[in-house]
Amino acid sequence: SWFGPGLVVMSSHLWPRGHVITLSSMYGSLESPNFPEPYPRDLDLVWDIRVQAGFRIRLDFSHFHLEPSYLCEYDYVKVEADGELLGLFCGSEPTDTEAVPGSTSSSTSSSSSPLLSPSSSLSITFRTDYSDEDRYTGFRAHYTAQDVDECLERSDEELLCDHFCHNFIGGFYCSCRHGYKLHPDNRTCTVHCKDVVFRESSGIISSPEFPGSYPKSSDCQYQIQVQTGFRVRLEFDAVFDVEDHPEATCPYDYVKVVSGGRELGPFCGSVAPGSIETESSSVMILFHSDNSGENQGWSLNYTTTGSVCPAPETPPHAVLSPVQSEYSFTDHVLFTCQSGHRILKVQPRDGHFLEHFQIDCLANGTWSSSAPLCQGQKVDCGNPPPVTRAQILFLDQNRTTFGSKVRYQCETEPGLNLSTSHPGSVLVLVSSGCGLSRSLPSLVKRIVGGRTADSGMFPWQVLLQVQDRTRIPEQNWFGSGSLLSETWVLTAAHVLRSPRRDGSVVPIDPQHIQVFLGVHSSSLKHQAQQRIVGAVVLHPDFQPQNYNHDIALLRLSSAAQLSDVIRPVWVRVRPGLVLPHTLGVVAGWGLSVTPDPALSPGPAPLTSDLLQFVKLPVVPQEECVASYASRSADYNISLSMFCAGYSEGGRDTCPGDSGGAFVQDQGQDQRWTVVGIVSWGGPEDCGSKRVYGVYTRVEHYRDWILQTMKD
């Protein structure tokens, strides 16, 4: 008989073997026949539980007492779902060969751990043999339907939704990012890309989201329509990834080009179509994608050409720009005279001087004017402007007229030399190669979490391996630094200090420090350029108890060999430029693990193989002080420190290795300047709310750095 939803009470009578009892309520109970009296012999019963789609079943045993046997050969309860065995149970206590559904609290009861079905159905089989050696009371179990969060995907499954998945009780629904619409399949997000018209003479067209995966189920139409008389030329990017098939021609996704009554394509696969001369001013590009696949897509650059003008002649003492192999309709040419000369306009002959003179290529293939003449003038450049920390030497009897030369000679600052951009300009004091990166990461928008750096992106990054042989047992750790010149490395003082219980400051012996330059993969550091240390210079006021003045310098015993992946960072910090909310970049081998010990007091272990980097905003000083004051009065944020990170917390609030550089782009010449050194953080785990990383403020120590490097 039935009592309530899903509850079945089984009286003491014979049940046919293989008898199936179906339960379809959202919750219920089941128990062995005669429970709590001993169950009958020779039983073969099956409970088939099925609940609504979108739910899974949770099964809990409140009592379990069956005959024990080796591998449950005699009496057992078997739980299955979707052909998968979830458990085979017997006995009353777990052994090496027997399992019970939970930890046994007595000989006749069990406080069970739940069993969960992967879907909305569950099968429970209860089988007994023909004999019992004791009075076994059987089992009682309870089941409930639990909502399945379809939006939590397994790693080996295809995403349910292209963009956003929203779970509700018994199901889910999908939504799309702005600019997309939901496909009728209610899973795929498609983009509107029809009737898109390009009227400019040149431009870039690409598949949606390029270089990311393009949307599924899309039909895009891109129309290039330029002025009549121009011809459109297409140049596909080498990166071309459109789904194809080894035995059929572009059956899934494809690109087609239609112009002048011709249809080119379809194109798909990984080989780009290259250059296409359309010979037309109107071109249609068609792109189709089906409802599957994850491909990168394509991009092309289109240009237009018109009537060709003859190559213009360059007059004496003039510079022509731009220099091209061919000039066509709407192209412009700009003439500029060399230093010491002025443009004399040819027509009209009024002696009027111009700084520049432009002529245009017309639609009929002729130039709008003839080339100008450059006339020599006696020009006095005036007194040369002073340059900081440099002396001016006149080489032509104190003359400052055109053609005369002066020389600037550096006075004190190490690692500086002089360069000039073009004749007649003033020499500018620069540090050769300092702060230049192979590919500068943009600081326009925030990137949360660490990202893998490209090789050469942070050429000043130095990996330090430190051994403290004065400790028993011997201690080893890793840290980071930044190359300031061919022979000097900047880092944090606590990285190079041997820990002492009495708080004394004892530097690590230089011979126990290894320096690796140009490292990208830490596991391959021994293949990188290595240097030994000639001297360790900790700041004389370093205080290990509160990390004040946490800055140090290493002098290499031999100069580093500079290359594309090994260059010094710029250290000429101007006071007051580390402004709140400005972004900086930190690199290191400890960015990819949370919590990151790199910002905890003490040297940091090496946690990531490939060099990582993260972008962080400078925190207002009052917020930095208040954040740590709210945790403990023992935390001291001095004026020689600043904080960086996000108030909401996250793994990006504590990046880098101890001693690594916090750099900012402080110039118009794309030179990166070290403004901070990774010092400490805490007290909660890295990434907690309002737990910022604390950095040594380099601008306070600029004179100490320069004087130490000079000495």
Assigned fold of 308-376: Complement Module; domain 1 (2.10.70)
The answer, yes or no, to whether residue 333 has pLDDT greater than 90, is yes
Q: Identify the pLDDT of residue 150.
A: 81
The answer, yes or no, to whether residue 253 has pLDDT greater than 70, is yes
Q: Identify the pLDDT of residue 568.
A: 94
Domain ranges of the chain: 19-147, 192-305, 308-376, 390-430, 583-697
CATH of 192-305, one of 2.60.120.290, 3.30.470.20, 3.40.50.970, 3.40.50.10490: 2.60.120.290
How many whole angstroms separate alpha carbon 214 and alpha carbon 413? 53
Q: Identify the pLDDT of residue 112.
A: 55
Of 68, 59, 26, 373, the C-alpha closest to 169 is 26
Q: Identify the pLDDT of residue 412.
A: 45
Residue 539 CA: distances (Å) to CA of 17, 484, 487, 696? 86, 16, 18, 12
CATH of domain 583-697: 2.40.10.10
Assigned fold of 19-147: Jelly Rolls (2.60.120)
The answer, yes or no, to whether residue 408 has pLDDT greater than 90, is no
The CB density around residue 263, as the number of other CB atoms within 10 Å, is 11
Q: Is the model more confident about 419 or about 264?
A: 264
Length of the chain: 711
Catalytic center residues: 494, 550, 658
Question: With pLDDT > 90 as the criterion, what percentage of the chain qualifies?
Answer: 44
pLDDT band with cut points at 50, 70 and 90 for residue 79: very high
Q: Identify the pLDDT of residue 670.
A: 64
Helix (H, G, I), strand (E, B) or coil at 523: helix
How many whole angstroms separate alpha carbon 283 and alpha carbon 371? 37
The answer, yes or no, to whether residue 506 has pLDDT greater than 50, is yes
Q: Is 703 annotated as a binding residue?
A: no
Name which of 249-263, 266-280, 435-449 the model is least confident about.
435-449
Helix (H, G, I), strand (E, B) or coil at 410: strand
Q: Is the model more confident about 194 or about 489?
A: 489
Q: What is the mean pLDDT of the chain?
A: 82
Across the strands, what pairs with 661? Answer: 677
Looking at mean pLDDT, say which of 8-22, 196-210, 343-357 comes out highest. 196-210
**Structure confidence by residue, pLDDT tens digits, 641-679:** 999 988 877 654 454 478 999 999 866 666 789 999 999
Name which of 14-18, 196-200, 415-419, 559-563 the model is least confident about.
415-419
Residue 518 φ/ψ region, left for φ over 0, alpha for ψ in the -120 to 50 degree band, beta for the rest? left
- What is the pLDDT averaged over residues 402-424? 54
Of 88, 35, 82, the C-alpha closest to 62 is 35
How many whole angstroms separate alpha carbon 378 and alpha carbon 400? 11
Q: Identify the pLDDT of residue 447.
A: 36
Name which of 86-90, 302-306, 653-657 the model is least confident about.
653-657
Q: Is 439 annotated as a binding residue?
A: no
Looking at mean pLDDT, say which of 225-234, 251-260, 449-458, 644-653 comes out highest. 251-260
The answer, yes or no, to whether residue 216 has pLDDT greater than 50, is yes
The answer, yes or no, to whether residue 350 has pLDDT greater than 90, is no
Q: Identify the pLDDT of residue 250.
A: 93
Burial label, 422 (beta-carbon count in 10 A; 0-12, 13-18, 19+)? exposed
Helix (H, G, I), strand (E, B) or coil at 76: strand
The answer to whether the 19-147 and 192-305 domains have the same CATH topology is: yes
Q: Is 209 annotated as a binding residue?
A: no
Q: Is 171 annotated as a binding residue?
A: yes
Residue 97 CA: distances (Å) to CA of 68, 88, 93? 10, 11, 11
Q: Is 243 annotated as a binding residue?
A: yes
Name which of 485-489, 548-552, 587-591, 648-652 the model is least confident about.
648-652
Q: Is 98 annotated as a binding residue?
A: no
- Give the DSSP letter string of 539-568: -TT-BTTTTBT--EEEEESS----BTTB-P
How many whole angstroms separate alpha carbon 300 and alpha carbon 243? 17
Q: Is 186 annotated as a binding residue?
A: no
Residue 287 CA: distances (Å) to CA of 197, 251, 253, 293? 14, 13, 8, 15
